[in-house]
Structure 1
Amino acid sequence: MIYNEEKIKSYLKNILSIPSPSGYTSKIMDYIIDELQILNAPYIITNKGAVIVTLKGKNNDYQRTLSAHVDTLGAMVKNINTSGSLAIDPIGGFMMNSIEGENCQIETINGETFTGTIQTTKPSVHINGSDARELKRVPENMEVILDEKISSKLEVEELGISVGDFICFDARTIFTQKGFIKSRHLDDKASVAILLYVIKYTLESKIELPYTTNIYISNYEEVGHGASSAIPLKTKEFISVDMGCPGPLQNSSEYSVCICAKDSSGPYDLGLRRKLTEVCKNENIDYKIDVYPHYGSDASAALRAGWDIKTALIGAGIFASHGYERTHMDSILATLDLIIKYNMLE
């Protein structure tokens, strides 16, 4: 099958450009909904703000659901310091050193946007010497320096910034000529772009699906409860389209679709994993099977919530996950191909 790589990249570029830390996802959901309306795709919005697209199939009683999450890592203003800097509290699990020196924007409750830079409280070796190097990178030693002429807490408050405002990290997205994509938040916006293209491809190609297939775009995965509710009731097979984690002692790759056998929530359904690997073998899709000891997914959340579903986890290989990440178009296309072929499987 021939896929439109430029359209996939366009979706991904647009999605990565819209800040969406967990709890602040309305703007990116508006983008998703706009694209679904262009495609004339049927969808619902859940009470929690997730979006579910339903693609009708011949069998409506045995349904498949594929999920990806649009929420990302980020932070929240914990306190306004007397100097006018902002203390931060993390949203999601990441290393503090991975955001040191990162540009960011603050989204206020009143809808205003301010920019700044995340620094340690001792950011200069010329001033702090060895203390700057040895300072432990923990939230209490990190702060946002605003791009404003301010020097006090009162001046910051007068700008309209307050405790509880969201801090969004600059994605710094780059598409290289050799097919690499470097950006924050490829976890899991790469998968959202893939599933958006799956919807487009399925509808425009007039594919007759053997089973009704739902596309669930969740918005609270990074904090553990993304797909814990509102899964279509007739779902029997649930696939979390998230990411693989290449690295030392791992089997995953940036150039393949990665299929997770087990993560911190336990093994995924063996029969469903076998079905996915057979599709890869029969269709010559490059794949890797791996185990991730420090990982959870929308499928994990659904199982913890008590849903009686068979689950699997697949995704593109994302290097340096929860940091400044990287993947390759080969991995994205392999993941896309597996999803399309799985959806068509009788």
Structure 2
Amino acid sequence: MSRLAIDTDYLVTILSKLLKTPSPSGYTDNVVRLVTAELADMGIDAELTRRGAIRAVRRGADPRGARAIVSHLDTLGAQVKNLKDNGRLEIVPIGHWSSRFAEGARCTIFTEKGTYRGSILPLKASGHTFNKEIDSQPVSWDNVEVRVDAYARGKVGLAKLGIDIGDIISIDPQTEILDNGYIVSRHLDDKAGVAIMLAAIRALQTEEAETPVDVHFLFTIAEEVGVGASSILQPQVASMVAIDNGTTAPGQNSDEFGVTIAMADQTGPFDYHLTKKLAHICRDEDIRYQKDVFRYYRSDSASAVEAGADVRTALITFGIDASHGYERIHLHALRSVAELVTAYATSPVMIERDLDQISDVRGFTKLPSRKAKQNLSADIKVSDAKTDPN
């Protein structure tokens, strides 16, 4: 079966719901409930791990050699490090992001007594008070604090509010969805990936598409802190495709349009055969794509392999500008990645040996090794090519 039509209105709607549901790593229960309810509406039962990672299995012709598609529900955030004498909060980041992008952000502090609103501000926030020092102070988490929008005098006042060390802080997404297809928001990494998966599942369900093997749709809850898909894969899974952001920046080949297929990240190359298949599907199905290599990046696939999962891994991405900051994507990329997911899920099994966890060398894959043939232009003679140093 070829790529399926994606309901982009649904994709944008569910993305909006996801972005409105705070889910920094360590505070993901509510978004887990949202996604499981969405899966149930589509007729797919979800299994949860103890902490809430989701496994939704869509049955195919064979449970062996299953395919996994994974994205993560958790986002960046912050945590209360200390209650300060000035009635403000010292914080540390959840996940890896710069305090440069935290400055000025509105946020919610989650306490046992309830939530409070606040702003993340530099220690020297007023030009009327600190003059040029507001521009010369260092950029670091030691140089920002949370101003709580509630009456609190010093540590005692904060404690009376019920604010405590370790409380989770979510950062407002500040979402804008524009008519021209651009979407600007925090936490598009990886709520956009989750929306892509749900839109692809919806297309598969609507078309009652048949797949050659089971497809495990996985939603992890701690990718931003390095845990990812380390404990959710089942033994019958032979390959796993992660969906995450592809960084558009100078020196990168990622794009905000089409699919960006990652060939490697900081943990090394992705599976040769699986990435090749995904690129072939894009060409065959007329899905715009490009390839990229990420040097300072890891995804759910890395945590799975590091945990000992013997699976082929790949990473397909939607191009994102200013990742882990004020992020921007385009709907074209989201639709393209979702189309690729549907085409991949329904594609035939190319490596039948992968149906079994262990087997002998028969049917094992081969890599190309023959020499490439160069097609010289008609006006260059072979004899000239051998002698001409240019």
Distance, in Å, in 2 between the alignment partners of 1:316 and 1:240 is: 11
Deviations 1:116-145 (A, max 9, x none): 000011111211122211111111111000
Does 1:73 pair with 2:76?
Answer: yes
The structure having more radius of gyration, on CA atoms, is: 2
Contact kept, 8 Å, 2:60 with 2:215, in 1: the verdict is yes
Runs of 4+ in 1 over 2 A off after TM superposition: none
Greater alpha carbon shift after TM alignment, 112-121 vs 130-139:
130-139
1:171 to 170, 173, 195: 173
| Structure 1 segment 132-151 matched on structure 2, within 5 A | 132-151=134-153
Contact kept, 8 Å, 1:19 with 1:28, in 2: the verdict is yes
User: Residue 52 of structure 1 corresponds to which residue in structure 2?
Assistant: 55
Distance, in Å, in 1 between the alignment partners of 2:187 and 2:317 is: 14
Does 1:18 pair with 2:18?
Answer: no
Distance, in Å, in 1 between the alignment partners of 2:189 and 2:287 is: 22
User: Residue 289 of structure 2 corresponds to which residue in structure 1?
Assistant: 287
Contact kept, 8 Å, 1:260 with 1:289, in 2: the verdict is yes
User: Residue 353 of structure 2 corresponds to which residue in structure 1?
Assistant: none
Pairwise CA distance, 1:111: 5.7
User: Residue 211 of structure 2 corresponds to which residue in structure 1?
Assistant: 209
Deviations 1:81-121 (A, max 9, x none): 0111000011111111111011001011x261110000011
Pairwise CA distance, 1:51: 0.5
Does 1:267 pair with 2:269?
Answer: yes
User: Residue 103 of structure 2 corresponds to which residue in structure 1?
Assistant: 100
Contact kept, 8 Å, 1:244 with 1:258, in 2: the verdict is yes
Q: Percent of counterpart pairs with the same letter?
A: 36
Distance, in Å, in 2 between the alignment partners of 1:206 and 1:194 is: 18
| Structure 1 segment 1-346 matched on structure 2, within 5 A | 1-108=4-111, 110=112, 112-346=114-348
Provide TM-score, normalisation by structure 2.
0.87
Pairwise CA distance, 1:206: 0.8
Q: Which runs of 5+ in 2 are unaligned?
A: 349-390
SS in 2 for 1:327: strand
Deviations 1:14-51 (A, max 9, x none): 00001100000001111111112212212100123101
How many residues of Structure 1 are paired with residues of Structure 2 in the alignment? 345
SS in 2 for 1:317: strand
Distance, in Å, in 2 between the alignment partners of 1:271 and 1:25 is: 34
Pairwise CA distance, 1:3: 2.0
Pairwise CA distance, 1:204: 2.3
Distance, in Å, in 2 between the alignment partners of 1:83 and 1:147 is: 13
SS in 2 for 1:245: strand
Deviations 1:139-189 (A, max 9, x none): 111100011122211111111111110111010011001000000000000
SS in 1 for 2:263: strand
Pairwise CA distance, 1:230: 2.2
Deviations 1:194-240 (A, max 9, x none): 11122222122211111100000000000001101120220101111
SS in 1 for 2:63: strand
Distance, in Å, in 2 between the alignment partners of 1:14 and 1:91 is: 22
Contact kept, 8 Å, 1:214 with 1:232, in 2: the verdict is no
Q: What amino acid maps onto 1:20 in structure 2?
A: S
Q: What amino acid maps onto 1:75 in structure 2?
A: A
SS in 2 for 1:61: coil
Distance, in Å, in 1 between the alignment partners of 2:304 and 2:121 is: 37
Distance, in Å, in 2 between the alignment partners of 1:178 and 1:282 is: 28
Contact kept, 8 Å, 2:59 with 2:213, in 1: the verdict is yes
Distance, in Å, in 2 between the alignment partners of 1:107 and 1:32 is: 21
Distance, in Å, in 2 between the alignment partners of 1:147 and 1:223 is: 29
Q: Which runs of 5+ in 1 are unaligned?
A: none
